[in-house]
Structure 1
Amino acid sequence: MCAIAGILDFSSTADPSASAGKVRHMISRLRHRGPDDEGYIQSGPCTLGAARLAQIDRAGGAQPMRSPDDRYAIVLNGEIHNHRALRAELSLHWHFTTRSDTEVLLAAFATWGREALRRLNGMFAFFIWDAQTHRGFAARDCLGVKPFVWMPQPQGGFAFASEAKALLHLLPSSPVANEEAILEHLVAPCFSGVRTSMFAGMHHLQPGHWLSVDRHGIQQGEWSRYDLHRATELSADELVPAMHDLLPKAIERTLDADAPAAVLLSGGLDSTLVAALAKQHGVTQAYTISFEGQDAFDYAKALMVKSDDLPCSIEAASDIGLQHRIVPVSRASLADDMRTLALQNDALPAWEQELAQHHLAKALAADGHRAVLVGDAADETHYGYGFMLDDQSISHPGKLLARFGSPPLNAEMQQRAAHIPHDLTSMMREAGHADQTRADRLRGITHLITRLWLPRLLHNGDIHMMAHGVEARVPLADTDLLDLAVRVHPELALKDGVEKSLLREAARGLMPEAARVRRKSSLSKDDGSATVLKSEALHALDASADFLFHWLDLPALRQMCSPHYELAEMQRALLFRIICLHHWAAAYHVRLP
């Protein structure tokens, strides 16, 4: 796991020392992602840098890494979970000198070229420089677990980094807000921050895409997609045993690293399944968040958090035999936490559950953990959300967005925001998902969820864990498991009105029964935060009035912050986003377009 960065300068007046200084500065902004060591390579117009969080072959896996003939140089952020199997195959073509998965990826690319991507099982974003052709090649894993941000440079140049904040010093002046991206963040937070950066002029390499760059320009293409057209009419009798057998293998592959891992445990299906299977491979410690007054929250009225995780996680940890640390969060830290989140997450915090990720990461790092297994990706790839059972919510993206409330935009932005649900509908239809049948609509909404919602969720998990030098591993994003999950017909996945029905059946016997049948409830958040949110929102409206006025109806927001106004759940979420937007703009000196 690493921070990676690089610059290509194809100009006739290129100064390698200047590029080297810039890349060193970029890595200095990313050292939280790689506290173990750092390295740099300069090859012609290309300068690469990496800061490493060593997980496999600490002694031999230093980056950047060169091929023996010096033709290729690579920087890799992530892990190749099937590196041992690939190593065995590639040993016929390559003399390995390290145990690292980075060298396996380098050998795979040198041997198979772009076709190597289809052989990889893991989470990754990488860049390879070819000194012979003077061409760079980048790729990102199919779900977007690992980030890759890039930006064109003068005279056809190119720069990239693991996080957008590392590129800011390359701009000619202070950054400019991406107007449409921020509008999407306010109106459709769960789908935001994936297709475009919040900073104008920066770009995200999309999940499952590759990028090639040389002095003639940039080319991009898609190499992998979670393609729901592959869903078949296979029966549960065929699918359940296959998935039951595959789940333990996916966990085992994820744990094939030198650094031991802990687990995050909510007591629900996904995290408990991961925890139970990880325990069989030596994982002993679980972590659960606990917010102040959590046991008294009114879950009956909640939209996403349907029950208290704490007693369920305590029971699950006891049943599995895990050491269990409960991480308490005091409301007194909320104001400071929101500022921290905004600085860490340069895609802008999208939901309050990021507070839980932040505090869990701090606790893991304080206890000396460098890796943690999470249950992410199951809900999105196995039809796991409760709104999938609501015909109204799946009828149109606009209906789904309506569940999460509408912010008080100013008149101009209110008009412009109308295109967002239509764009999402177009995205579904361009992917070939019509809406004639319920199954069509379920696939269409799931297409949006796997292409936008899930990458946003994975981005948040990566960036908040790596802010504390902790690697989040996602075993339920295992490539073989995804290949099986995509074949499940939506009606079979939601059989008898139960979300993730087939996954639940496949997990029978692999985990505690109480957690296996527990209904979906999102990661906990603080439902008693209204007073702090109102106070901090008023401060934001005063301090960043000109900036926020560009998008929002400020009088309506001020009314929402009045002492006697009772905030609904989605209004609390909106104030959270607005406060974070203020902190983000102030910290990075972001200008209006």
Structure 2
Amino acid sequence: MCGIAGIFHCGTIKPVDPARVERMCDALVHRGPDGAGVWTAPGVGLGHRRLSIIDLAGSPQPMLSADGRSVIVFNGEIYNFRELRTELEGLGAQFRTSGDTEVILAAYERWGAECLSRLHGMFAFALYDLRQQTLLLARDRLGVKPLFMAPLSDGSLAFASELKGLLAHPLLRRDVDPLAIEDYLTWGYVPDHRSILAGVEKLPAGHFRLLRHDRPATPPVKWWDISFAQRHRGSERDLEAELLHHLREAVTSRMAADVPLGAFLSGGVDSSSVVALMAEASRDPVRTCSIGFDVAAVDETSYASQIAERFGTDHRVRRVSSEDFDALETLSTMFDEPFADASALPTWRVCQLARESVTVALSGDGADEAMAGYRRQVFHFHEERMRGLLPAGFRRNVLGPLGRAYPKADWAPRPLRAKATLLSLAGDGSSGYALGLSVVPAKLREGLYAPALRRLLGDYRAEQPLIDMMNQAPSQSGLDRAQYADLKFWLPGDILTKVDRTSMAVSLEAREPLLDHRLIEFAAALPDRMRVRGGQGKWLLKKAMRRYLPDDILYRPKQGFVTPIKEWLRGPLANEARALTANSPLARSEWFDKTLLGGLVAAHSSGLADNSRLLWQLLMLERSLVRLGIFA
């Protein structure tokens, strides 16, 4: 895994200072501590930081093609590079290295931008064609690897693997995009269609951008999308066998490395499935690691140990204290943009543990999005069935008012927390799903914003891009649309951002076999009943894995990484929460209504309400904007 950065002049050709590219790369040293390089030509500069995984000594970057036609900087792994290499050699290509980077160069020279569809893996790269004088920026299908871009005042476009690479360029403006504040408070992260800094863009997953010196920059082009529009017609047994085949292929293809390799093991269905298939394919014990907590209610290490013993793994466990709040400054630096998924902290800790013994770790991320494993997807599946049975007028005129009047009973048993369900049923499926996925409801956000910020936002609401995405999804059912949104919106914005930044912060390469695009495409064509049955999501996956895993692993309630932010904000972080309404940088920004915010802080501190997620979001927003130099 690596970090890349560069500068390209659009509409003109100006010299590129290699020292600027080098500074941008130096900001990404954590992504690639094993080597560095910069290459420049009139109007273009490419830089690279390398974390050596394959062909340790033989694939330095930036890399020129054998004929000198093109040069590339590349972040990621191409898992089918050996097969592609054999095909290209048959077509006359010659290779000087044994790694995957040179294969991308040869594939581009043979097929141009259409080579992207032949690449199986995770990647973000910049490839300059010296003959055509064009720069190809590309990102993998699902957005595992990031790429930030920004037009600059001198007519150039700068790009980097992380925002901090762009921040190293002296011409980057540091103005907050107010729409990103709305997005962030709604979702807990800044989604891929936005950046916290105005003018900065993220290349969308499954897109490329072709830039030329002789014309202004053009928009990104979509080269891949996931479709739920088709359905498999095979028998249950045949579909189960085909799913298992895809799982094995996905796992084994990601076990190739010239450095020590292991896996994250939480004891849940997904990571346990990955470890089971790794153990099946490996001669040696799989190296696994788990993070535990000193709060028994959220500790899963006993399940992870059960799987480790079952498959004879070389297992390591480390416990994280519930008082591990002193890492917040590190987290804000790690993510650059505000990021409020509190599971980032334990994810970072498990990456630290893994890096002590391996350089590559396989994770179980992706199965929930692809196979309907989230509780919200199962609820949505059943809600859509109810929408089909209840007249629209009844839902709108009866359930809507009832939902608005129903108390927000976070303290009550789950069956009695009906407010969100009633409000969701009152609207259409896409609006209901957006409502359930949002962290801070629209009404609370609107009341929280001060007049100046409300004017800047106008009529923009963060839910609308998600609703539009669901309504335009290639799909057959409401479940399809929900999963499409999770794969295209939630996955790259939250889950993959979290794993990329926390793993790269410790120079660890994380690989997600359950996001193999062939597996994703297969799962998207499964009938609804093969994904959700009764109250169970991931139905076919669990059935297929029963030959490997016990039922108490497969069918126990889902449990993710949990961080005790509620307790922190009533204890060691209580003063920081109170400062949000007084003399903190965020309070001085005059973006938020201090009276309403003060009431939310007081209610949380006294135990009358749980406002921890919102307060945590505001604290992380403040820390990030201080780091970015927006706040003094």
* TM-score above 0.5, yes or no: yes
Whether 1:246 aligns to 2:246 is: yes
Which structure has the larger Rg? 2
2:362 alignment partner, one of 373, 388, 392 = 373
Return the alpha-carbon distance in structure 1 between the equivalents of residues 586 and 247 of structure 2.
Answer: 51
Return the alpha-carbon distance in structure 1 between the equivalents of residues 628 and 154 of structure 2.
Answer: 26
Give 2:120's aligned residue. 121
The change in CA–CA distance for 1:568 and 1:140 in structure 2 (over 3 A counts) is: farther
Whether 1:489 aligns to 2:527 is: yes
Give 1:535's aligned residue. 575
Q: Compare 229-238 and 175-184 and name the one that shifted more.
A: 229-238
Return the alpha-carbon distance in structure 2 between the equivalents of residues 195 and 564 of structure 1.
Answer: 35
**What SS is found at the alignment partner of 2:575?**
helix
Give, in angstroms, the shift of residue 250 of structure 1: 1.0
**What SS is found at the alignment partner of 2:57?**
coil
Whether 1:579 aligns to 2:577 is: no
The change in CA–CA distance for 1:418 and 1:441 in structure 2 (over 3 A counts) is: farther
Q: Superposed, which structure 2 residues align to 1:69-218 within 5 Å? A: 69-92=67-90, 93-172=92-171, 175-189=174-188, 192-215=190-213, 216-218=215-217
Q: Compare 532-541 and 491-500 and name the one that shifted more.
A: 532-541
Give, in angstroms, the shift of residue 330 of structure 1: 2.2
Kept after mapping to 2: 8 A contact 1:252/1:278: yes
Task: State the one-letter code of the partner of 1:121.
Answer: H
**What SS is found at the alignment partner of 1:312?**
helix
Give, in angstroms, the shift of residue 411 of structure 1: 5.3
Return the alpha-carbon distance in structure 1 between the equivalents of residues 42 and 482 of structure 2.
Answer: 46
Give, in angstroms, the shift of residue 13 of structure 1: 7.5
Kept after mapping to 1: 8 A contact 2:12/2:43: no
Task: State the one-letter code of the partner of 1:27.
Answer: C
Whether 1:315 aligns to 2:334 is: no
The change in CA–CA distance for 1:567 and 1:449 in structure 2 (over 3 A counts) is: farther
Whether 1:260 aligns to 2:300 is: no
Return the alpha-carbon distance in structure 1 between the equivalents of residues 311 and 375 of structure 2.
Answer: 27
Identity of matched residues, %: 31
Q: Superposed, which structure 2 residues align to 1:45-84 within 5 Å? A: 45-84=43-82
Give, in angstroms, the shift of residue 97 of structure 1: 1.2
Kept after mapping to 2: 8 A contact 1:10/1:155: no
Give, in angstroms, the shift of residue 375 of structure 1: 0.5
Give 1:589's aligned residue. 629
Task: State the one-letter code of the partner of 1:320.
Answer: F
Q: RMSD across aligned C-alpha pairs, in angstroms?
A: 2.4
Give, in angstroms, the shift of residue 448 of structure 1: 1.2
Give, in angstroms, the shift of residue 327 of structure 1: 2.1
Q: Compare 199-208 and 476-485 and name the one that shifted more.
A: 476-485
Give, in angstroms, the shift of residue 511 of structure 1: 3.5
Task: State the one-letter code of the partner of 1:295.
Answer: A
Return the alpha-carbon distance in structure 2 between the equivalents of residues 176 and 506 of structure 1.
Answer: 50
The change in CA–CA distance for 1:540 and 1:60 in structure 2 (over 3 A counts) is: farther
The change in CA–CA distance for 1:588 and 1:230 in structure 2 (over 3 A counts) is: same
Kept after mapping to 2: 8 A contact 1:174/1:589: no
Return the alpha-carbon distance in structure 2 between the equivalents of residues 28 and 522 of structure 1.
Answer: 34
Structure-1-length-normalised TM-score:
0.90
**What SS is found at the alignment partner of 2:84?**
helix
Q: Superposed, which structure 2 residues align to 1:278-293 within 5 Å? A: 278-280=278-280, 281=282, 282=284, 284-292=286-294
2:485 alignment partner, one of 429, 448, 455 = 448
**What SS is found at the alignment partner of 1:217?**
coil
Return the alpha-carbon distance in structure 2 between the equivalents of residues 261 and 568 of structure 1.
Answer: 45
Give 1:521's aligned residue. 559
Kept after mapping to 2: 8 A contact 1:260/1:283: no
Give, in angstroms, the shift of residue 154 of structure 1: 3.5
Give 2:342's aligned residue. 352
**What SS is found at the alignment partner of 2:176?**
coil
Return the alpha-carbon distance in structure 1 between the equivalents of residues 311 and 163 of structure 2.
Answer: 40
Kept after mapping to 2: 8 A contact 1:398/1:421: no
The change in CA–CA distance for 1:422 and 1:160 in structure 2 (over 3 A counts) is: closer
Kept after mapping to 1: 8 A contact 2:185/2:440: no
**What SS is found at the alignment partner of 1:111?**
helix
Return the alpha-carbon distance in structure 1 between the equivalents of residues 558 and 3 of structure 2.
Answer: 34
Task: State the one-letter code of the partner of 1:499.
Answer: G
Return the alpha-carbon distance in structure 2 between the equivalents of residues 422 and 82 of structure 1.
Answer: 38
Return the alpha-carbon distance in structure 2 between the equivalents of residues 262 and 237 of structure 1.
Answer: 31
Return the alpha-carbon distance in structure 1 between the equivalents of residues 137 and 176 of structure 2.
Answer: 26
Task: State the one-letter code of the partner of 1:51.
Answer: R
Kept after mapping to 2: 8 A contact 1:11/1:155: no
**What SS is found at the alignment partner of 2:199?**
coil
**What SS is found at the alignment partner of 2:149?**
strand
The change in CA–CA distance for 1:547 and 1:324 in structure 2 (over 3 A counts) is: farther
Give, in angstroms, the shift of residue 32 of structure 1: 0.2
Deviations 1:167-221 (A, max 9, x none): 123354651111111211111226x331111111110000000100112022321
Whether 1:506 aligns to 2:508 is: no
Kept after mapping to 1: 8 A contact 2:121/2:516: yes
Give 1:30's aligned residue. 28
Q: Compare 369-378 and 312-321 and name the one that shifted more.
A: 312-321
Return the alpha-carbon distance in structure 1 between the equivalents of residues 525 and 62 of structure 2.
Answer: 38
Return the alpha-carbon distance in structure 2 between the equivalents of residues 382 and 450 of structure 1.
Answer: 10
Kept after mapping to 2: 8 A contact 1:351/1:573: no
The change in CA–CA distance for 1:567 and 1:135 in structure 2 (over 3 A counts) is: farther
Return the alpha-carbon distance in structure 1 between the equivalents of residues 236 and 184 of structure 2.
Answer: 39
Give 2:403's aligned residue. none
Gaps of 5+ in 2: 384-420
Kept after mapping to 1: 8 A contact 2:124/2:140: yes
Task: State the one-letter code of the partner of 1:333.
Answer: D
Return the alpha-carbon distance in structure 2 between the equivalents of residues 13 and 74 of structure 1.
Answer: 19
Deviations 1:317-360 (A, max 9, x none): 221212322222224330x3122111111232131100111111
The change in CA–CA distance for 1:432 and 1:474 in structure 2 (over 3 A counts) is: closer
Return the alpha-carbon distance in structure 1 between the equivalents of residues 537 and 436 of structure 2.
Answer: 21
Q: Compare 577-586 and 488-497 and name the one that shifted more.
A: 488-497
Kept after mapping to 1: 8 A contact 2:336/2:627: no
**What SS is found at the alignment partner of 2:128?**
strand
Task: State the one-letter code of the partner of 2:502.
Answer: H
Give, in angstroms, the shift of residue 478 of structure 1: 1.1
**What SS is found at the alignment partner of 1:56?**
coil
Give 1:468's aligned residue. 506
Give, in angstroms, the shift of residue 43 of structure 1: 2.4
Give, in angstroms, the shift of residue 418 of structure 1: 6.8
Return the alpha-carbon distance in structure 2 between the equivalents of residues 254 and 476 of structure 1.
Answer: 10
Task: State the one-letter code of the partner of 1:363.
Answer: L
The change in CA–CA distance for 1:142 and 1:536 in structure 2 (over 3 A counts) is: same
**What SS is found at the alignment partner of 2:617?**
helix
Kept after mapping to 2: 8 A contact 1:2/1:33: yes
The number of residue pairs the alignment matches comes to 569
Return the alpha-carbon distance in structure 2 between the equivalents of residues 503 and 250 of structure 1.
Answer: 14
**What SS is found at the alignment partner of 1:507?**
helix
Whether 1:459 aligns to 2:497 is: yes
Return the alpha-carbon distance in structure 1 between the equivalents of residues 436 and 534 of structure 2.
Answer: 26
Kept after mapping to 2: 8 A contact 1:187/1:417: no
1:553 alignment partner, one of 593, 599, 603 = 593
The change in CA–CA distance for 1:62 and 1:271 in structure 2 (over 3 A counts) is: same
Return the alpha-carbon distance in structure 1 between the equivalents of residues 285 and 173 of structure 2.
Answer: 45
Structure-2-length-normalised TM-score:
0.85
Give, in angstroms, the shift of residue 246 of structure 1: 2.1
The change in CA–CA distance for 1:38 and 1:568 in structure 2 (over 3 A counts) is: farther
The change in CA–CA distance for 1:286 and 1:549 in structure 2 (over 3 A counts) is: farther
